[in-house]
A and B are shown apart, each in its own frame.
Chain A
Amino acid sequence: MIDRKVLTLGSLLLTLLAMAVPATAIEVVALPSANSPLVAVRLQFNAGSIYDPPGKEGLASLTSMMIGQAGTQKRSYTDLIEALYPMAAEIDTNTDREVALIAGLIHRDKLAEYTALLKEALLTPGFSQADFERNKEQLVATLTNTLRSNDEMLGLETLQDEIFQGHPYGHSPAGTVAGLKSITLEDVKTFYRDHYTQGSLMLGVAGGYPADYVASLQKDLAALPQGSKARMEVPPAPKVQGRNFTLVDKQTGSVGIHFGYPLPITRADADYYPLMVVNSFLGEHRTFHGRLMNQLRGKRGLNYGDYSYVEYWNVPPFTSLPSPNVPRREQYFSVWIRPVVPVDAQFALRAGLYEVQRLRDKGLTQAELDLTRDFLINYSKLWAQSLGDRLGFYMDSKFYGMPYYIDEIESRLKKLTVADVNAAAKKYLSTENYSAVFVTANAQQLKDTLQKDEPSPKTYNAQPEADVLEADKTIQAIKVQPTRIDIVPVAEIFEK
Chain B
Amino acid sequence: MSARISLLLCGLLAMSVTAVAGAAEKGASGDVFPFKVYKQTLDNGLKMVVIPYDSPGTVAYYTVVRTGSRDEVEKGHSGFAHFFEHMMFRGTEKYSQDAYNDLLKRMGADSNANTSDDRTAYYIVGPVSSLATMMDMESDRFQNLKYKEDAFRTESLAVLGEYNKGVSNPVQPMFEKMRDLAFTKHTYKHTTIGFVEDVKAMPGYYDYSIQFLNRFYRPENATLLVVGDVKPEQIFEMAKKYYGGWKKGYQAPKVEPEPPQTELKKAHIDWPNPVRPQLMIGYHAPAFSTTSVDSATLDLIGQLLFSESAPLYQELVVDKQWVDFIGGGPDFSRDPSLFTILTRVKSEDLVPKVQETIDRYVKQLADQPVDQQRLDRIKAHLRYSFALGLDTPGNVAAQVAESIAATGDVDAINQRFAQYQTVTPADVQRVTRATFVPQNETIVTLSHKAEAPAAKGSQGGANHD
Listed in ascending order, the chain A residues whose CB lies under 8 Å from chain B are 33, 35-38, 77-78, 81-82, 85-89, 105-107, 110, 130, 133-134, 137-138, 141, 144-145, 148-152, 250-254, 256, 286-289, 294, 297-305, 318, 320-321, 338-341, 371-372, 374-382, 385-388, 439, 441, 460-464, 490-491
Contact = CB atoms under 8 A, between A and B. Distances in A.
A374 B106 contact: yes
B127 A288 contact: no
A322 to B, nearest CB: 11
A107 B387 contact: yes
Chain A contact residues, majority secondary structure? mixed
Which of B109, B152, B324 counts the most A-chain CB atoms under 10 A from its CB?
Answer: B324
Given A37-B22, A340-B161, A385-B58, 11 more contacts: A38-B19, A88-B16, A88-B385, A141-B344, A145-B344, A253-B167, A379-B108, A386-B392, A461-B154, A462-B152, A490-B274
Interface string B283-324: 000000000000000000000000111000010011101001
Contacts of A341: 164
A385 B165 contact: no
Contacts of A463: 150
B391 interface: yes
Given A87-B384, A88-B381, A151-B168, A301 B392 contact: no
B162 A85 contact: no
A380 B58 CA distance: 12
Contacts of A490: 273-274
B463 interface: yes
13 contacts: A38-B19, A86-B377, A87-B381, A133-B321, A141-B324, A152-B165, A252-B167, A297-B161, A301-B161, A302-B161, A318-B463, A339-B164, A461-B156
Contact of A462 (B153, B276, B381): B153
A414 to B, nearest CB: 14
Contacts of A388: 391
B102 interface: yes
B7 interface: no
B158 interface: yes
Contacts of B54: 35
Given A379-B109, A382-B58, A304 B165 contact: yes
Nearest to B272: A251
Contact of B157 (A138, A301, A382): A301
A299 B154 CA distance: 7
A300 B108 contact: no
A286 B165 CA distance: 14
B268 interface: no
Nearest to B278: A145
Give 4 nearest A-B pairs by CB, closest first.
A378-B108, A301-B157, A251-B272, A88-B384
A474 to B, nearest CB: 20
B55 interface: yes
A462 B149 CA distance: 8
B380 interface: yes
B186 to A, nearest CB: 27
A464 B108 CA distance: 29
Contacts of A303: 158, 161, 164-165
B154 A464 contact: yes
A399 to B, nearest CB: 23
Contacts of B21: 37
Contacts of B331: none
Contacts of A151: 165, 168
Given A86-B381, A253-B164, A254-B164, A321 B110 contact: yes
Contacts of B276: 141, 145
A149 B344 CA distance: 12
Nearest to B163: A304
A371 B105 contact: yes
Contact of B324 (A33, A81, A138, A462): A138
B244 interface: no
A290 B266 CA distance: 45
Contact of B125 (A86, A289, A304, A382): A382
Contacts of B110: 320-321, 379, 382
B107 A378 contact: yes
A289 B156 CA distance: 19
Given A374-B106, A377-B108, A378-B126, A85 B381 contact: yes
Q: Which of B112, B126, B168, B387 has the most CB of A within 10 A?
A: B168
A463 B23 CA distance: 54
A251 B455 contact: yes
B32 to A, nearest CB: 12
Given A37-B21, A88-B384, A251-B455, A386 B161 contact: no
Q: Which of A304, A441, A490 has the most CB of B within 10 A?
A: A304
Contact of A338 (B23, B165, B391): B165
Given A107-B384, A491-B274, A252 B154 contact: no
Given A36-B20, A38-B19, A105-B388, A301 B155 contact: yes
B313 to A, nearest CB: 9
Nearest to B313: A81
Nearest to B450: A251
B308 A252 contact: no
B147 to A, nearest CB: 12
B354 interface: no
Contacts of A134: 317-318, 321
B407 to A, nearest CB: 24
A134 to B, nearest CB: 5
B318 A78 contact: yes
Contacts of B463: 318
B46 interface: no
Contact of A372 (B105, B170, B388): B105
B454 interface: yes
A461 B6 CA distance: 33
A305 B150 CA distance: 19
B203 interface: yes
B89 A288 contact: yes
B342 interface: no
Given A86-B380, A149-B275, A300 B154 contact: yes
